[in-house]
Amino acid sequence: MILPLIRFGRSLAPRWLLISAGAFLLSMFFLIGNLYTSQVELRQNDDARLVSIGEARATEISDFLSVRRQAAARLAASEDISNYFSNLDLGMSVRYGLFANLATIERRFQATLDEEKYQEQPAYLRLAFFDSNGVAQVEVGASNAASPSAAGGDLGEPNIRIDEKRRLIVANAPVFLKGTTRGTVETVSTLNLLSSLISTNDLGRPHEFLLGDDGEVLLPSERDHSAIVIQGPVLAALTPGRIQALSNSTAPELKGYLALRSPVGGTRLSILRLASEDEIYGRTLSPLSVFYLGLFATVLFALAIGFEGMRQNAARLQIKFVESNRHRAQLAENNLALSQEIRRREAIEADLQRQTDALDASNSELRIAAAAFNGQEGMIVTDTKGVILSANRAFVGLTGYTTDELVGQTAKLFRSHRRDAKFYRRMWDSVRVTGGWQGDMSLRTKGGENCARWLTISAVKDDAGDVTNYIGSYYDISKLKHAEEKIQELAFFDQLTGLPNRVLLFDRVRQALNANIRSKSYGALLFIDLDNFKTLNDSLGHHVGDMLLKAAAQRISRCVRADDTVARFGGDEFVVLLANLGTHKAKAAALQAEAIGEKILVAFTQVFQLDTYEYPCTPSVGVTLFSPEDRNVDELLKRADIAMYDAKTAGRNGLRFFDPAMQTMIAARAAIETDLREDLKKERLLLHYQPQVDHEGKLLGAEALARWPHAEKGMISPSEFIPVAESTGLILPLGALMLNTACRQLARWSADPATEHLTIAINVSALQMRQKNFVEEVRGIVEQTGANPRRLKIELTESTLVSNVDDVIAKMDKLKAIGIGFSLDDFGTGYSSLSYLKRLPLDQLKIDRSFVNDILVDPNDAAIAQMIIALSKSLGLSVIAEGVETEEQYAFLAQLGQLNYQGYLFGRPLPSADFEILARAFSSRHRSKRVRGSVNGTYA
Amino acid sequence: MFPKRFVLGSLSGAMAFLFVTSSWAADLAEIKQRGEIRHIGIRYANFVTGAGDGLDVELMQGFAKRIGVSYKLVYSDFYSVIRDLLGKDVVRQNDKVTLAGDYPIRGDVISAGFTVLPWREAILLYSEPTLPSQVLLVAPAESDLQPIKDGADLAIDIANTRKAIGSKSVLVMERTCLDPTNYGLVNVGIDLKSYNKSANLNEMVPAMLNNEAELTLLDVPDAILDLRKWAGKIKVLGPISDRQTLATAFPKDAPALRDEFNAYLRDLKFSGAYDRLVDKYYPGIRRFFPEYFAKTN
């Protein structure tokens, strides 16, 4: 058994060279085969990349044109143009009216022309506004850029066209008003703006050209490209999205170039990219070169066989020669054979060296391909049925599946269910037709999570053009998505409350106005302002203020319908948009809007729990309706704002509808507020003193009343400025100034025997009383001025006691402890409650002037006055009647009991100097004779 | 019984101090010596907005800078403005204008879109024109009156506009550029309603919309602002007056101040700065008076 094997081995030994060459040939075939496959794949990847860049460039141009279209539409929808047509419809002439609108439009156009830039260049050459007859009413910019086919036709929607001859981009947008087209806005830009989007081959990149529909070369304009100009129509007809060789071109300059045409979406333009093979694929081995390499190895093998045959022939000749010349030529023959053998071996060795070098180069290319496949982005390779053949490490890491789990499966394994079957059918249709697809895709990982990726599918084709594989690349766009969402949130939503902000509100109001034109129904805007929010912010800080805003936003949101919008307009202002009230009758719409407004008011009746504070907060709501005829968003908001201020003026916590008359009134109030603030700083407000007397006519003191001598308007009535002071918070500095002035007056009076006994009653508002440090402030003023606190009487109104009675009582007790007295002003007009009256440390009740006025004619008023006097007796309080103006009123009140009095009958409010003269006159008469008649005799 | 009037009549003494603080209007030399120019302004359209700016406010601020003094804005109204400049009240009887009484002088110059009128020229020195103007007739949008058609002749336009008034009531403001006596509207059978709730011309349109009258007079500067502010709510029917001129006014005894201001105004117009100011505050007025601005250019 062994011997035959040994013999077979020995028989092969002489053929070792042939066997080695055969083995070498086989290994070469294997390596060259792999090299060929790699080269084909690399070229397909380069093709896909070129197509992708071409499409991206076309998208950039399409986006640019879309922006121009939108800009024209924005100008067409401007309020200024709307105002122009409103006034035109009213019959106004250009000379006496419309000139103002046209000037405003011209100003807006000029500002747009000056300010809007694209890559540091002016975005427009010219802007124009045409009426429905096509007559230009406003034109700004270069007149030589005027469009020869000036718009005037009936445009349905914004459009854009390219004036190829004049190299202009012309965008037209219709002006709609009340559902009809009234005119057109036209913007004109130079085509050269697109130059920056078209790359040249200066940096080794391919040539790019922008072609018109008929193949005219629009860009670049200044380069020498006569061959492209000539071949333009042919190039414009190339199949889009496919790389094609220009081997059949009649222009010799283009031979050897590859061309790709990418259409610009929504236009008749195309991007044409030209490049040589070297520029696209680099200087790598072509598949043909690899084929020649294989052929060379085969030739080498044939040569080896030839050499072997020659060697055997030489051996046979040598044996014959040995037989004939055994002694003479044997050595020479052997030497010759040996030298031949050496040369042959050297030749083979050199050849082997060349092949080894080629193999090394081939391996290097394979390593590059492998590195590309194992890059940062997930990639899979499938067969034509979508069955996964391989997946790279990035894809395995992305999905959580192992390579073994992925191979043999289809993409259904990791599809999310956010897309329907129709979407996937369209996607594969695109892949089959165009050889590729790209788009936004959501993947489901093995753990069940969804992640956003940008998927690019590229088909791999063989030499015959048949698809052999698909390559799927998943680019990570999650950060981009997140950034987009964040930008969206920041741009349109308020960060504190999460509600839509002013920008989004304006957009929605515009949408609602447009929608209501179609539905012909009413909508409404509710302007909500939180009452006294500034006071809360100042006293408890912005942190608590923010908590209130968030809670208020939630309450308002719960009161509206799902389709309505609640927006934070700024500060403590909210706006509710009731987009469609579903009726074309104003009255029915108003009732609906009022119902929602009332619901909001009710929602605020519960106190807000803000951290450790319980805070009662009320809103003031202004409502305006808008009909299909209303187009001006600013005007609507202004109306709602005015109505809200009316609600504030009416005492807050209420709802008012818009009334144009409010405009004038509010302007006057604003002027009063400004001047009052200024005069308070300069302490220009004064106190006048109105005498208070007892039942015998003895002067007891005075009520101090605020007076405002305005530098320009003269004396302003308290009924005008006190409500303004209360609504703006100026009542706090005003109250402090008045209290200080009154205490200084008391201190001065204490030095004069004629006035030392007199008291001063001073009014304190509810807002002052609610101040935390009110007691300390009063004590401080009394100590600082040296006033006798027992001569100071604070008059409170019943409204002071409406909320937090316990707090008011505690403060009154503290002030009472240092001797300050209290009088309840306007008693009987408001919330009089016997339960709290008993608990208040009062000294006096005041019968309001409204009862005294009609006490002689209205039995009810007389009965109320009587009841107040009886009540004060039972509580041990004194009573003062104010507003006593006639002898008859005095006589009637005198018969009810021993009262104190105040009113014009006893003296008008006087400046301090005049009051002191009066007090001295009283004092001297009282020393001489304590009867009322003597006073009468002196001053009548 | 108690006397009713025993405390009255003691305020007269308090009034006296109001006259103590008055000072006198002055010519250029005295103003430079004083170091301050007092500009009497009226809150009126965009001439003096009331917010510290306005066409005339910027104009006078520039003038103060030119003569090297500080600037002070003193607010007044159309009823008191001449009294605040001259210290005398204006009494008009028919065509006669006389000055009466003694009042504090509060400023050196009136600049507030102040119309040049013959009776005013009798008592004031006017600068060169600062702006043209015209008085228009305005109606609410829903009024049954239609705006007149543009005519080639302004006199015909005015006649057509006046004819349209008929029996409608017209809101006017006396002693201002909207005074009906300036345009022959008195005693010709027109129902005139005098607006006297304030001396602010900006309130004319809101008052008309508040049904205080069926029509109102309105000057071009106000019309430019109100056509935007009340777009769709009002309509301009046509002109009531000829072209008018607005200018800055000085006391008769301040000719040097007036001459210096005229030189300043000419420089400003020549440099183009004046046109920019006009565009800033009245963006449409150059379209309304193209012939005036063609001249200034």
Supply the ipTM of this predicted assembly. Answer: 0.76
For residue A191, is pLDDT > 80? yes
For β-strands A565-570 and A523-530, DSSP reports them as unpaired
Q: Which residue of A has its CA nearest to B237?
A: A92
The residue type of A547 is M
Measure in Å the smallest separation between the Cα of B151 and chain A Cα atoms: 9
Find the CB nearest B146 among A91, A890, A910.
A91
**Largest distance between two CA atoms of chain B:** 79
Residue where the block lists tokens 């103002």: A100
- Contact criterion met (CB < 8 Å) for B287 and A93: no
Residue where the block lists tokens 């009867």: A931
What is the predicted pLDDT for the residue at B16? 28
- What gap in Å lies between CA B75 and CA A891, rounded to an integer? 50
- Contact criterion met (CB < 8 Å) for B231 and A940: no
What is the predicted pLDDT for the residue at A56? 84
Exposed, middle or buried: residue A562 (CB in 10 Å: 0-12, 13-18, 19+)?
A: exposed
What is the predicted pLDDT for the residue at B13? 27
Tens digit of each residue's pLDDT (9 = 90 or more) over A363-373? 766 676 676 67
Tens digit of each residue's pLDDT (9 = 90 or more) over A800-858? 776 677 888 899 999 999 999 999 987 766 555 666 677 789 999 998 888 898 888 88
Residue from A82, A94, A96 whose CB has the most chain B CBs within 10 Å, to mutate = A96
Measure in Å the smallest separation between the Cα of B214 and chain A Cα atoms: 15
For residue A909, is pLDDT > 90? yes
Measure in Å the smallest separation between the Cα of B114 and chain A Cα atoms: 20
The residue type of B73 is L
Reported as a pLDDT band with limits 50, 70 and 90, residue B92 is confident
The residue type of A647 is A
- What gap in Å lies between CA B113 and CA B245, rounded to an integer? 9
Tell me A413's DSSP state. Answer: G
Contact residues on chain B for A106, CB-CB shorter than 8 A: 287
Residue (of A746, A684, A692) closest to A713 by Cα position: A684
- A917 in contact with B at a CB cutoff of 8 Å? yes
Residue from A87, A95, A633, A707 whose CB has the most chain B CBs within 10 Å, to mutate = A95
- What gap in Å lies between CA A940 and CA A924, rounded to an integer? 17
At residue A31, φ and ψ (nearest 5 deg) are -65, -45
Name the CA dihedral angle for A831, A837, A843, A847, rounded to a multiple of 10 degrees. Answer: 40
Using an 8 Å Cβ cutoff, are A754 and A923 in contact? yes
Residue (of B152, B188, B195, B148) closest to B167 by Cα position: B188
Measured between alpha carbons, how far is residue B279 from residues B79, B131, B222, B293 in Å?
Answer: 29, 12, 15, 11
Full DSSP string of A656-704: EE--THHHHHHHHHHHHHHHHHHHHHTT--EEEEEEEE-TT--EEEEEE
Measured between alpha carbons, how far is residue B263 from residues B57, B127, B257, B258, B260 in Å?
Answer: 18, 10, 10, 9, 5
Residue (of A688, A687, A702) closest to A882 by Cα position: A702
* Of A19-28, A119-128, A597-606, B103-112, minimum mean pLDDT range: A19-28
Please measure the distance between the N-terminal and C-terminal CA atoms of chain B and give it in whole angstroms: 79
- Contact criterion met (CB < 8 Å) for B227 and A101: yes
Full DSSP string of A140-155: EE-GGG--TT-S-S--
- A101 in contact with B at a CB cutoff of 8 Å? yes
What is the predicted pLDDT for the residue at A397? 87
Reported as a pLDDT band with limits 50, 70 and 90, residue B130 is very high
Q: Which two tokens stand for residue A137?
A: 């009413």
Residue from B81, B84, B236, B289 whose CB has the most chain A CBs within 10 Å, to mutate = B236
Q: What is the mean pLDDT of chain B?
A: 84
* Of A57-66, A384-393, A800-809, minimum mean pLDDT range: A800-809
- What gap in Å lies between CA B154 and CA B157, rounded to an integer? 5
For residue A603, is pLDDT > 90? yes
What is the predicted pLDDT for the residue at B139? 95
Which H or E run includes B261? helix B255-271
What is the predicted pLDDT for the residue at B295? 53
What is the predicted pLDDT for the residue at A802? 64
Tens digit of each residue's pLDDT (9 = 90 or more) over A730-761? 899 999 999 999 999 999 999 888 899 999 99
Q: How many CA atoms lie within 13 A of A779 on its CB side?
A: 12
For the CA atoms of chain A, what is the radius of gyration?
A: 49
Measure in Å the smallest separation between the Cα of B11 and chain A Cα atoms: 8
Greater confidence, A128 or A828?
A: A128
* Of A135-144, A283-292, A459-468, A826-835, minimum mean pLDDT range: A826-835
Reported as a pLDDT band with limits 50, 70 and 90, residue A244 is confident
CB neighbours of residue B53 within 10 Å = 15
Reported as a pLDDT band with limits 50, 70 and 90, residue A202 is very low
Full DSSP string of A99-121: HHHHHHHHHHHHHHHHH-EETTE
B-contacting residues of A 709-738, CB under 8 Å? 712
Q: Which two tokens stand for residue A271?
A: 């991007």
Find the CB nearest B239 among A96, A661, A914.
A96
Reported as a pLDDT band with limits 50, 70 and 90, residue A939 is very low
- Contact criterion met (CB < 8 Å) for B76 and A712: yes
Averaged pLDDT, B227-253:
91
Tell me A829's DSSP state. Answer: S
For residue A876, is pLDDT > 80? yes
For β-strands A388-391 and A244-245, DSSP reports them as unpaired
B-contacting residues of A 919-938, CB under 8 Å? 932, 935-936, 938
At residue A782, φ and ψ (nearest 5 deg) are -60, -45
Judged by DSSP in three states, A156 sits in: coil
What is the predicted pLDDT for the residue at A226? 66
Q: What is the mean pLDDT of chain A?
A: 83
- Contact criterion met (CB < 8 Å) for B2 and A667: no
Using an 8 Å Cβ cutoff, are A799 and A766 in contact? yes
What residue ranges in A164-279 does DSSP mark as E strands?
168-177, 180-190, 207-211, 217-219, 244-245, 257-263, 270-276
Q: Which two tokens stand for residue B214?
A: 């069926």
Between A99-115 and A79-89, two packed helices, what is the crossing angle to 10 degrees?
160
Using an 8 Å Cβ cutoff, are A116 and A188 in contact? no
- Contact criterion met (CB < 8 Å) for B203 and A667: yes
Using an 8 Å Cβ cutoff, are B94 and B226 in contact? no
Q: Which two tokens stand for residue A99?
A: 């000139």
What is the predicted pLDDT for the residue at A261? 86
Question: How many Cβ contacts (< 8 angstroms) between chains A and B?
Answer: 135
- What gap in Å lies between CA A234 and CA A222, rounded to an integer? 21
- What gap in Å lies between CA A59 and CA A918, rounded to an integer? 91
Q: Which two tokens stand for residue A656?
A: 């008012």
- A661 in contact with B at a CB cutoff of 8 Å? yes
- Percent pLDDT > 90 in chain A is 22
Tens digit of each residue's pLDDT (9 = 90 or more) over B94-128? 778 899 989 999 999 999 989 898 889 999 999 99
B-contacting residues of A 836-895, CB under 8 Å? 887, 890
A128, β-bridge pairs: A139, A186
- Percent pLDDT > 70 in chain B is 90
- What gap in Å lies between CA B116 and CA A379, rounded to an integer? 84
Residue where the block lists tokens 């008469």: A925
Using an 8 Å Cβ cutoff, are A689 and A704 in contact? yes
Averaged pLDDT, A689-695:
93
- A8 in contact with B at a CB cutoff of 8 Å? no
What residue ranges in A314-466 does DSSP mark as E strands?
378-382, 388-391, 436-444, 450-461
Residue (of B87, B15, B103) closest to A714 by Cα position: B15
Greater confidence, A488 or A204?
A: A488
Contact residues on chain B for A103, CB-CB shorter than 8 A: 224, 283-287
- What gap in Å lies between CA B103 and CA B84, rounded to an integer? 8
Reported as a pLDDT band with limits 50, 70 and 90, residue A148 is low
Residue where the block lists tokens 């603030």: A677
- Contact criterion met (CB < 8 Å) for B136 and A91: no
Reported as a pLDDT band with limits 50, 70 and 90, residue A925 is low
- Contact criterion met (CB < 8 Å) for A100 and B150: no
Residue where the block lists tokens 């009256």: A837
Give Cβ neighbours of residue B83 (< 8 Å, ≥ 6 apart): B89, B90, B101, B103
- What gap in Å lies between CA A612 and CA A603, rounded to an integer? 21
Helices (H), A804-858: 805-817, 834-839, 849-853
B-contacting residues of A 513-552, CB under 8 Å? none
Q: Interior CA angle at A415 toward A412 and A418, to 5°?
A: 135
Reported as a pLDDT band with limits 50, 70 and 90, residue B177 is confident
- A666 in contact with B at a CB cutoff of 8 Å? no
